[in-house]
């Protein structure tokens, strides 16, 4: 494009950019308001039930586990955060000007508000992406409901260990979508299910999982764990294999294509195309 043509369009381009920024800001304000209302209601219900039913701390632990099952991967509903919702409710319930139904509280940014009660983790985008996470849960459920056929289609060497498999790393909770064991390779196989296009950070997250599995679960005579990232988008399903990289810090986003795996692994593991066909068969029919 010539420079004079760009100059001709410049006011229009700036106008569209400004429009996008304005709408992003308005959308974020709405999300803030909805999140505040949600946290207020959850915190209030926890407080009410504990007072009326005489329940102790265990109810929050149970609730957190059940919410993690329903919304896998969404970290905002941990036990710690649920307690903070209760604290949020108790702290501001006596101040009519800061009640979520009033106007004042909506003028306060969510991170600033939550920081006042010690809530450091920003979970706005977890909340926005909850619909995506729920779709991933449906895909996972489709596989779990047909787990025998799924394992058979994967080659017959896989054994099922669990879904939403819990990892405790430095007192933080993490959940692997599917955890399998490969008998002939004699290693753990972690599978992550994603809705949408592949993102490099998925590989970094898988590297973290593989390191945690090798340090906490792998037996001395077993081989290092292998990761499989399955991204099911509207038009296709992309599959990436992930191996633990040595001498590199956790979180380095490196992954291996099927063709670059050692020959013994390629021989024993299904190809990306085979896995994509299996996912299409046992997952949701939205492609």
3-class DSSP string for the chain: CCHHHHHHHHHHHHHHHHHHHHHHHHHHHHHHHHHHHHHHHHHHHHHHHHHHHCCCCHHHHHHHHHHHHHCCCCHHHCHHHHHHHHHHHHHHCCCHHHCCCCCHHHHCCHHHHHHHCCCCCCCHHHHHCHHHHHHHHHHHHHHHCCHHHHHHHCCCCEEEEEEEEEEEECCEEEEEEEEEEECCCCEEEEEEEEECCCCHHHHHHHHHHHHHHHHHCCCCCCCCCEEEEEEECCCCEEEEEEECCCCCCCCCCCCECHHHCCHHHHHHCCCHHHHHHHHHHHCCCCC
Q: Is it the case that residue 6 has pLDDT exceeding 70?
A: no
Q: What is the mean pLDDT of residues 128-153?
A: 67
Q: What is the number of other CB atoms lying within 10 angstroms of the CB of residue 32? A: 19
pLDDT value, residue 74: 64
Whole-Å CA distances, 95 to 35, 92, 99, 240 = 19, 5, 6, 52
Check: CB of residue 258 under 8 Å from CB of residue 266. Answer: yes
pLDDT value, residue 189: 92
Q: Is it the case that residue 253 has pLDDT exceeding 50?
A: no
Whole-Å CA distances, 62 to 56, 77, 169, 237, 278 = 11, 11, 20, 35, 34
pLDDT in tens, 162-220: 888 888 888 778 888 889 999 988 999 999 888 777 787 888 888 889 989 999 899 99
3-state secondary structure of 129: coil
> Among 283, 280, 285, 190, which Cα is nearest to 240's?
190
pLDDT mean across residues, the chain: 75
Q: What is the mean pLDDT of residues 10-16?
A: 81
pLDDT value, residue 88: 81
pLDDT value, residue 181: 93
pLDDT value, residue 72: 67
Q: Is it the case that residue 252 has pLDDT exceeding 50?
A: no
Q: Is it the case that residue 54 has pLDDT exceeding 50?
A: yes
Q: Is it the case that residue 45 has pLDDT exceeding 70?
A: yes
Q: Which letter does DSSP use for residue 75 in this model?
A: G
pLDDT in tens, 261-286: 777 777 788 888 888 888 776 654 44
Kindly tell me the number of DSSP H helices and DSSP E strands found in the chain: 10, 5
Check: CB of residue 12 under 8 Å from CB of residue 61. Answer: no
pLDDT value, residue 4: 67
Q: Is it the case that residue 146 has pLDDT exceeding 80?
A: no
Angle at 27 between CA 24 and CA 32, to 5 degrees: 125
pLDDT in tens, 63-120: 988 888 777 666 678 888 888 888 888 877 766 555 555 445 544 545 555 555 555 4
Percent of the chain exceeding pLDDT 90 equals 9
The listed range with the strongest mean pLDDT (26-40, 113-127, 148-162, 228-242) is: 148-162
Angle between helices 79-92 and 3-53 (to 10 degrees): 80
Higher-confidence residue of 142 and 122: namely: 142
**For 62, how many CA atoms within 13 A lie in the half-sphere containing its CB?**
6
pLDDT value, residue 92: 74
Q: Model-level pTM?
A: 0.49
Percent of the chain exceeding pLDDT 70 equals 68
Q: Is it the case that residue 243 has pLDDT exceeding 70?
A: yes
pLDDT value, residue 179: 93
């Amino acid at each position: 494009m010539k420079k004079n043509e760009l100059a001709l369009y410049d006011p229009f381009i700036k106008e569209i950019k400004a429009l996008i920024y304005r709408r992003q800001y308005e959308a974020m304000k709405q999300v803030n308001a909805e999140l505040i209302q949600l946290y207020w209601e959850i915190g209030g219900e926890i407080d009410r039930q504990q007072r009326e039913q005489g329940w102790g701390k265990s109810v929050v632990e149970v609730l957190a586990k059940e919410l993690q099952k329903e919304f896998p991967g969404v970290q905002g509903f941990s036990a710690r955060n649920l307690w903070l919702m209760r604290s949020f409710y108790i702290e501001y319930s006596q101040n009519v000007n800061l009640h979520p139904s009033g106007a004042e509280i909506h003028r306060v940014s969510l991170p600033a508000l939550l920081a006042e009660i010690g809530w450091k983790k920003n979970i706005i985008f977890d909340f926005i992406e909850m619909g995506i996470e729920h779709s991933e849960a449906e895909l996972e459920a489709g596989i779990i409901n047909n787990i025998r056929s799924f394992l058979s289609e994967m080659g017959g060497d896989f054994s099922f260990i669990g879904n939403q498999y819990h990892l405790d790393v430095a007192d933080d909770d993490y959940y692997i979508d599917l955890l399998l064991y490969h008998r002939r390779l004699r290693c753990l196989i972690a599978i992550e299910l994603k809705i949408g296009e592949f993102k490099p950070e998925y590989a970094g997250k898988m590297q973290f999982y593989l390191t945690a599995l090798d340090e906490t679960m792998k037996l001395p005579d077993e081989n290092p764990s292998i990761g499989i990232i399955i991204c099911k988008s509207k038009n296709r399903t992309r599959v990436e294999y992930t191996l633990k990289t040595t001498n590199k810090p956790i979180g380095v986003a490196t992954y291996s294509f099927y063709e670059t795996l050692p020959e013994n692994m390629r021989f024993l593991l299904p190809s990306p195309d085979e896995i994509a066909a299996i996912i299409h068969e046992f997952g949701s029919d939205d492609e």
